[in-house]
Amino acid sequence: VQLVESGGGLVQAGGSLRLSCAASGFAFADYAIGWFRQAPGKEREGVSCIINKSGTTYYWPDSVKGRFTVSGDNAKNTVYLQMNSLTPEDTAVYFCAADSRPRGDYCTDYERVYSSWGQGTQVTVSS
């Protein structure tokens, strides 16, 4: 199982970025993919999740609702996180992770449920 994030970078406040998570080595469509982030000096937190089979999406911090959109392309084994109206508070390393439960019918931000993680991509938002 391999997950590779890309798309991070430096952006000014108010800008946008689209992160990608390319997956391989497992039946991608049968699993949920979560996005997490870890800001400097803070614990990692769940941001969003998509159940690839159904397309059902979840967002956890109130601060990202309405600004972030998660989507998936099962043909490309890739999940995207579109981030708009970015603020300095969004600065963090962003990780994608694969849920360990095949054909799960809900997402969770409980990290121990996720068995495979990418290496992370840095997002820096300047004020």
Per-residue pLDDT tens over the stretch 40-87: 999 999 999 999 999 999 999 999 999 999 999 999 999 999 999 999
Cα angle 43, 62, 80 (rounded to 5 degrees) comes to: 75
Specify the pLDDT at position 104.
83
The tokens of 122 are what?
């840095």
Element housing 11 (H / E): strand 9-12
Identify the pLDDT of residue 44: 97
